[in-house]
Structure 1
């Protein structure tokens, strides 16, 4: 009887040992699994968290770009061709292409360099006849700096606004001091935020022929004043919005007259807005916050009183990614984020699209 009991206990112990071994094996294999996709393009993404929506509005496209090794400098700006499926990325660095070109599917096309760009900051792509052209703001202090330049998609310099190498505040002739970004409306009107920490703190509207329509701003924190105006965009009801970075607010102006409409600051108590664009459906503002590594989505108010701002969704990026400027594809709805800390650009796609 004692022998039978011992055999029974031995069998139970053997089964327990086998189960423990299997469990330890599974734990060991789980520890070997990568914690995120191996694609370096996803290195800066952390998570998407929702404020008011039931699910995140956008998700990371881990397949874009397919060849991230072509990012060889600090990525400062990104622009999406409004006609062709091309994404332009502006980067800084010694002996690196200033502009990289990718397809929206993630394939690298080519890069080009030019001695006429010193320190690219903002970049904007606009459709003109017979091809898309690029506007690049140059905040360099050398002989080509303090300007806004128009290039062909292949890198040919077509036009220069401002006085190369000479910072200033004059409107006749036009001068800039570290112009941060431009936005060009569907009517061909250009809105310029000038500057990125220089002499000027102003918003300038140029007509289609580059004549000055109006100018707003000086250094300060009152309505129509700025402290480092860093990004600008227009909505579909005739308003211009400026990321007033130093004052941690968005300011809205009438696009036709330049009249001040209002400001939002309650959404930016943690960090200032660094970049502002509209989603492809014009429902939300896409706002990058550089210091806290975050992209937020704000509800676009209807025409009239802009009221207060509402954060409807958030993309939280990894530490030290530093999202600088963003742009949106009007065709696919994808959002592209230029990240100076991670030295890359990333793509986020709407959750309701493939």
Structure 2
């Protein structure tokens, strides 16, 4: 009798403990279930980490362009008209339009009907006086190659800088060897990086009347020397940035004098910089790295000492996409990437973060 009473009392006293244990177990299981189903290995699809997603500056616009079938060649360059909202895409291939025109909304406008472009490399659109125009660098070896050419927005050739079909290193008259890219500042001054693997390894600044302001560079690894200067841009405080592809670094020069100001190489141990452009808010450089299929964002230093390179964000593309050159819409903030391997151009838009 005593034994039964003792057992009865023990079970009765244990009920609250059992209930608490069951509640804790249930709550623990409930808390673990979302983690289980969010696991990519369990759910069968990839989810970006909320912590990383909060830091992403840009996201892919999957609806641009609306008709990608118009890409019929290898896409090497892209340029955005800052006023007319037109995106120009330079491509290579047999029997293809060397330049395609799209709106920023993704609608196809037209392809240029011109035979004066052989192998387009860089392309730049400007709306400066007296009329909008598009500049194309041509690295071909035929009768139109080794030049920087100015076209109307519809593709009519206006003028040619350089000696067509003749590679060389002379400056008077201008003579290029596979000029890689051109950039025109808001003042109308032009920067040309010459060249894309040819004899020349130099940065040239031209005034509005196309007279030479200054020249920097020769082949080498020292300051102010280049090995395949590939892209160029100017920031808002009077510095010129050059993607020195072969040397895996960005070099910086004073826009007025051409004086060397420094270089960055710590961000390019994995792959060289192929492009350099400013985001529309002027806070970051956009740099494509072709061999590792990556677009990175580097913090723009304030006026003065450029300091060290600081990477703030990355867009990792699929294998063999091969991003080459980029451009930025000053109006919408969108980034356009020319992709040689994927044979397309893609648009990335600012990611609105809460």
Distance 1:143 1:328 in 2: 32
The Cα RMSD (Å) is: 2.4
Q: Which structure carries more relative contact order (alpha carbon 8 Å, separation 6+)?
A: 1
Matched, 1:309 2:309: yes
TM-score by length of 2: 0.85
* Cα shift at 1:235: 0.1
Match for residue 186 of structure 2?
186
CA contact (8 A) 2:128 2:188 kept: no
Which residue number in structure 2 is paired with residue 100 of structure 1? 100
Match in the other structure for 1:343:
343
Whether the 8 Å CA contact 1:48–1:59 is kept in 2: the answer is no
Partner of 1:266: 266
Instruction: Look up the match of 2:24.
Output: none
1:243-322 matches, within 5 Å, as 243-322=243-322
Unaligned 5+ runs, structure 2: 1-42
Aligned to 2:15: none
Instruction: Using the TM superposition, give the Cα deviation of residue 352 of structure 1 relative to its aligned residue in structure 2, in angstroms.
Output: 1.8
Structure 1: stretches of 5+ with no match in the other structure: 1-32, 37-45
1: CA distance between counterparts of 2:345 and 2:322? 11
Report the secondary structure of 2:123's partner residue: strand
Residue 262 of structure 1: how far off its partner (Å): 0.2
- Give the corresponding residue for 2:56: 56
- SS for the counterpart of 2:231 is strand
Is the 8 Å Cα contact of residues 49 and 313 (structure 1) preserved in structure 2?
no
Return the alpha-carbon distance in structure 2 between the equivalents of residues 125 and 262 of structure 1: 28
**Cα offset for 1:35?**
7.0
Report which of the two structures shows the higher radius of gyration computed on alpha carbons: 2
How far apart are the structure 2 equivalents of 1:130 and 1:185?
15
Q: Corresponding residue for 1:122?
A: 122
Residue in 2 that maps onto 1:139: 139
The equivalent residue for 1:22 is none
| 3-state secondary structure, aligned to 1:246 | helix
In structure 2, relative to structure 1, the CA distance for the partners of 1:279 and 1:252 (3 Å cut) is same
Alpha-carbon separation, structure 2, partners of 1:177 and 1:347: 31
Give deviations 1:328-350, integer Å, cap 9, x for gaps: 00000000000000000000000
The count of aligned residue pairs is 315
Corresponding residue for 1:153? 153
Structure-2 change in CA distance of 1:285 and 1:50 (3 Å): farther
- 1:89 — aligned with what? 89
Indicate how the Cα distance of structure 1 residues 76 and 50 shifts in structure 2: closer, same or farther if over 3 A, else same: farther
Which digits, 9 at most, give the CA deviation of each residue in 1:307-343, with x for residues without a partner?
1000000000000000000000000000000000000
Residue 82 (structure 2) pairs with residue 79 (structure 1) = no
Q: Pick which of 131-140 and 234-243 moved more.
A: 131-140
